[in-house]
Structure 1
Amino acid sequence: MLTTNEFFSYEPDAKYKTSVAYFSMEFAVDQSLKIYSGGLGFLSGSHLRSAYQLKQNLLGIGILWKYGYYDQVRDRNALMKTELIEKNYTFLQDTGIIFTVAVHDAPVHVKAYLLRPDTFGTAPLFLLSTEIAENDELSRSITHCLYDPNEATRIAQTIVLGVGGAKLLDILGLAPDIYHMNEGHSVSLNFYLLSKYKSLEEVKKRVVFTTHTPEMAGNEAHSYDLLKQMSFFYHLQEAEVKSMLGLYGDQFNYTLAALKFSGRANGVSKLHGGVARQMWGNNPGICEITSITNAQNKAYWKDAALEAAISSNDDGAIIARKKEMKHDLFKVVADQCGKLFDENILTIVWARRFAGYKRADLIMDDWGRFISLLNHADYPVQLIWAGKPYPEDMEAIGQFNQIITRAKPLARCAVLTGYELALSALLKKGSDVWLNNPRLYHEASGTSGMTAAMNGSINLSMPDGWVPEFARDRENCFLIQPAPDSLSDVEKDLHENKNLMDALENDVLPMYYNNPVQWLTILKKAAMDVVPAFESGRMADEYYTKIYRPNT
């Protein structure tokens, strides 16, 4: 059992005695450990922090990425470009464990490192690397870049995570009660478990799954031919896989396979749970899909001084601390963009992964109205954008750089690069308004607004993902009225741009400048409502009560 091994620095609480191995392609546990891209990593990092705080019998399995995701820097014209810079971490413990997994019917050597619980206050985290002398350069490259754009490399990464992670647990002498797949990247572990437990029913007793993707196109799939060539199915033949799972056709869908291997599964908000059931529910043989809403770890994200001011209902201290945090953020704005922002001006931040459906530039769609907003004499506004597009997503990178170009001559607009944990924290603490305007039903959860609310930034949001479970318009947030579902995307963008600007001009700005008492009432109500309902201690506990129960 996990409780007997030296890498735990604590005795797990009897309430959480079920042993869990939590597989994720990315973990965001500290700014210094760059093995994450965005929301999935932020979520898994908070999960490990809360598991540690609750003394749960859980460990993480991930990948040690040599170059991380990528470093977001600027070219000579101040536009965004990607750089791959080698990372080294002396705080990871070399376990001395090296083993092989089969990739393309050839042995690839995998080394295991350990992030000990007392390093950053997380559950134990094992990280796998192929960057060792025993491998040739092709095999080493498997763990070079998170979400490598090469299809074969991406498949090899999922084999190392899934099969490699399961093999490591056996080498460690661990037999977890539950294998938790956080997204479908580790689905290959099930083929290893089949060879061990000999039946799908036995695997389903031990495996659970969290799906994060409400877009069908975002759920990874590859051809059976290529997966077979890559040794993805471990010792099974293609016909056996198709027959056992009832997954015919040319493509093997990771999410659908994970739902068939698992005893239980969950979406990451109540709304997303319903979307996931609608997406996958007609497929025979899938498990129950419930919902456990994502959350973030307050102990990591909070500002202690602001928390004390809110707890003591000291409005003067809240205002003073918010200005101090804005000052800290504005130093980064000045350094990167050469613009001096004012702590007395309402500051709106849009910051998250760059993807088309998130509509980073929605506020700019009516350019004339946008410029009027910026130039309003009585209600001045400052805006900051930040986020990371996928490095091969030319459309998202183009959108990022277009916003840079349009914002460059505007003294009160800035686009920041280097969106990782540290900058994310500065943005949440230094903003007055946290803007979230995805196309409705496209955001599975969207947890950034939770940590914004913990730090005195009021959400201005579409009612998507976690927001409907939290939001009370003009009481703990501001809501953007959705356009009718019957409209096209272009028509929805027009309507929702108008509704966003109406909310700013009619509610947000007048209240901030003319009624600071009401503004602070909303700010304090948001901070009160977001914890504990959207704090990851609730989430980590709920996984034990709803998902980690024995699958019989």
Structure 2
Amino acid sequence: MKPTAYFCMEFAIDQPLKTYAGGLGFLAGSHFRVANRLKYPLVGVSMLWSYGYYDQVRDKEGRMKVDYVRKYYEFLEDIKLKIPVTINNATVWVKAYKLEEDVFGTCPIYFLTTDIPENDYLSRTISYNLYDGNNLTHIAQEIVLGVGGYKVIRECENVKLYHINEAHPLPLGFKMLEDYGLNYVKEHLVFTTHTPVPAGNETQDINLLKNMGFFGNVDIKTAEKLGGNPFNLTVAALRMSKKANAVSKLHKETTEKMWSWVKDKCPITYITNAQDKCYWQDAVIRDAAKDYDYDKLRKRKMQLKKLLFEEVADQTGKLFDPNIMTVVWARRFAGYKRPYLPLHDETKLKKLLDDKKIQIIWAGKPHPNDTNAQITFNWIVSKTRDLKGAAILTGYELKLSKLLKMGSDIWLNTPKRPNEASGTSGMTASMNASIHMSSLDGWHVEWTEMYPEDSFTIGDGIHTDDDYEAKCMYEQLEKASNMYDTEEWWKKACNCVNHIVEYFDAERMIKEYAEKMYK
């Protein structure tokens, strides 16, 4: 395997290091913990966000509010390196910090910041917030990550291959093209594409990118041949890379259909996402499931539910009952993920709650500029206020995510097919005996093919309208609640814990990246 530099806008490494928004970061975190354990030669490049993504707090009425608090990290090493990057015909200085392997047990990662005294105020704001809503700032972030990261790696590491996780760091491809030509780029760049929704496949005005310095000294005609006009970052990445991968079996089909019109693109394979069992899985649950010790598993699950319910009570003043089946919907709040679906028929949901068949918890962060998603979040706040056994939590970061996965009985996933490239939250929930209940999208398609009895499936994957899939979801919740806390339930939970790690643990994923992408 070649020494590889892995570029990603976000890394979810550990709770104290708030440089991530959601699934992309969670995936990168598992990638780097496991690669370190398996001793693969990887080095990471990312951004040191002064204010993180954002802090999700509550206003005086209990609704979610976007807040920003400056972050400080004494565990990052100042490597005394500053490099210049040209943005908008001006020099911006980029400073690098290093996360050493022994801090959180990951491969080393370089974190880049422009928030230093050498820069003017505007340049300093480039590394303030992950996925900044201002388009010019966003483009500048991509240039800093791509070009700045490339220069830092050339200065500090002996790397043979560059892996861009999503197309954000694409300017590094143009920097290599400028230095060595397109054939060199196609030998030294690999690309992972994720979400098929338009927002995840960025298009920009090609003249704006040229003026900003996105293409460096590469002429605009060459850039247009690669990414079109308007310029599509994903299309350019597919044309500039040696290989590309989708992140699930279904996503590969979706990706190939989406980009079938792109001539001269590289081959697209798939490597289904996975997560690190050593980080996410509770050891007592793992051991109890291995022995099919239902009493031990049940006892531990009740302890973990009580820990989760302390957080629910603290945030909402609601006291949940560990003996009732607890459903969790928790992930990035985005329209296609349909966080509203459990409330599609409020009468049916209320009956399930009133009959003590289920309790339900929501959590997740909308983008700070996604007004519709924030309205949905706060609509659920208002709906759950008077619903006994229903709550919505703020502060969805690694710590709360782990608490929810360990403390839930059902992990509910409701994306509208085929928009979920893979998803991974249900994998880590399943590692902790929280049974996955999902529409037929993303990784769940493969999970239900392998072990159809280890999860609950919503709908048929053909009819994807809200009315039909909500009806199927209520039926599955009723079915699961009738089975809950029986011998059949705990057997299903044990199977789920034991089988999930056979394919959806990140060791398999890393080995596939080494074989299919890095070799």
TM over 0.5: yes
Instruction: Give the AA of the match of 2:174.
Output: F
Instruction: Give the AA of the match of 2:484.
Output: Y
2:143 match: 159
Alignment of 1:218-297 (within 5 A): 218-243=200-225, 245=226, 247-249=227-229, 251-297=230-276
Unmatched runs of 5 consecutive residues or more in structure 1? 1-15
Q: SS of 1:184's equivalent? A: coil
* Cα distance, 1:474 vs structure 2: 6.0
Per-residue CA shift, 1:226-247, capped at 9, x if unaligned? 111111111112123224x2x4
Matched, 1:477 2:447: no
Matched, 1:19 2:8: no
Native 8 Å contact 2:292 2:491 kept in 1: no
* Cα distance, 1:195 vs structure 2: 2.1
Matches of 2:28 and 2:109 in 1, distance apart? 11
Matches of 1:129 and 1:474 in 2, distance apart? 47
Matched, 1:420 2:402: no
Matches of 1:329 and 1:471 in 2, distance apart? 28
2:506 match: 536
CA RMSD of superposed structures (Å)? 1.2
Instruction: Give the AA of the match of 2:515.
Output: T
**Which region of structure 1 is more displaced relative to structure 2, 525-534 or 286-295?**
525-534
Alignment of 1:105-184 (within 5 A): 105-172=89-156, 174-184=157-167
**Which region of structure 1 is more displaced relative to structure 2, 392-401 or 475-484?**
475-484
1:9 match: none
Native 8 Å contact 2:55 2:66 kept in 1: yes
* Cα distance, 1:483 vs structure 2: 6.1
Native 8 Å contact 1:440 1:482 kept in 2: no
Per-residue CA shift, 1:170-193, capped at 9, x if unaligned? 112x34221000000000101111
Per-residue CA shift, 1:265-297, capped at 9, x if unaligned? 000001001111111122101101110000000
* Cα distance, 1:365 vs structure 2: 0.8
1:307 match: 286
Native 8 Å contact 2:9 2:47 kept in 1: yes
Native 8 Å contact 1:483 1:495 kept in 2: no
2:318 match: 339
Question: Which residue among 462, 465, 469 is the counterpart of 1:496?
Answer: 469
Matches of 2:3 and 2:362 in 1, distance apart? 41
* Cα distance, 1:308 vs structure 2: 1.6
Matched, 1:523 2:507: no
Q: SS of 2:484's equivalent? A: helix
Alignment of 1:276-425 (within 5 A): 276-376=255-355, 379-425=356-402
Instruction: Give the AA of the match of 2:483.
Output: M
Question: Which residue among 26, 29, 32 is the counterpart of 2:13?
Answer: 29
TM-score (norm. length: structure 2): 0.98
- Identity in percent: 48
Native 8 Å contact 1:35 1:68 kept in 2: yes
1:187 match: 170
Matches of 1:248 and 1:21 in 2, distance apart? 27
Question: Which residue among 472, 477, 484 is the counterpart of 1:512?
Answer: 484
Native 8 Å contact 2:206 2:224 kept in 1: no
Question: Which residue among 397, 401, 423 is the counterpart of 1:446?
Answer: 423
Per-residue CA shift, 1:491-518, capped at 9, x if unaligned? x10011111111112x2111115xx111
Matches of 1:218 and 1:121 in 2, distance apart? 30
Native 8 Å contact 2:57 2:64 kept in 1: yes
**Which region of structure 1 is more displaced relative to structure 2, 416-425 or 354-363?**
354-363
Native 8 Å contact 1:208 1:263 kept in 2: yes
Instruction: Give the AA of the match of 2:67.
Output: E
Q: SS of 1:73's equivalent? A: strand
Q: SS of 1:185's equivalent? A: coil
Matches of 2:461 and 2:159 in 1, distance apart? 47
* Cα distance, 1:262 vs structure 2: 0.2
Q: SS of 1:532's equivalent? A: helix
Matches of 1:73 and 1:534 in 2, distance apart? 33
Matches of 1:474 and 1:106 in 2, distance apart? 57
Instruction: Give the AA of the match of 1:192.
Output: K
Instruction: Give the AA of the match of 2:457.
Output: L
Q: CA separation of 1:483/1:291 partners in 2, compared to 1, >3 Å: closer, same or farther?
A: closer
Per-residue CA shift, 1:437-482, capped at 9, x if unaligned? 1111110001000000000100111121011111267610111113
Instruction: Give the AA of the match of 1:466.
Output: W
Matches of 1:242 and 1:336 in 2, distance apart? 51
Q: CA separation of 1:262/1:483 partners in 2, compared to 1, >3 Å: closer, same or farther?
A: closer
Matches of 1:389 and 1:331 in 2, distance apart? 24
1:10 match: none
Per-residue CA shift, 1:195-219, capped at 9, x if unaligned? 221x211111010000001113431
1:3 match: none
Q: SS of 1:189's equivalent? A: helix
2:25 match: 41
Matches of 1:320 and 1:508 in 2, distance apart? 20
Per-residue CA shift, 1:357-407, capped at 9, x if unaligned? 11111111111111111111xx53110000000010000000000001000
Unmatched runs of 5 consecutive residues or more in structure 2? none
Matches of 1:432 and 1:343 in 2, distance apart? 10
Per-residue CA shift, 1:140-159, capped at 9, x if unaligned? 00000000000100000000
Matches of 1:361 and 1:132 in 2, distance apart? 42
Matches of 1:205 and 1:228 in 2, distance apart? 24
Instruction: Give the AA of the match of 2:339.
Output: A
Native 8 Å contact 1:337 1:414 kept in 2: yes
Matches of 2:407 and 2:495 in 1, distance apart? 18
Matches of 1:111 and 1:67 in 2, distance apart? 16
1:548 match: 518
TM-score (norm. length: structure 1): 0.92
Instruction: Give the AA of the match of 1:510.
Output: N
Q: SS of 1:122's equivalent? A: coil
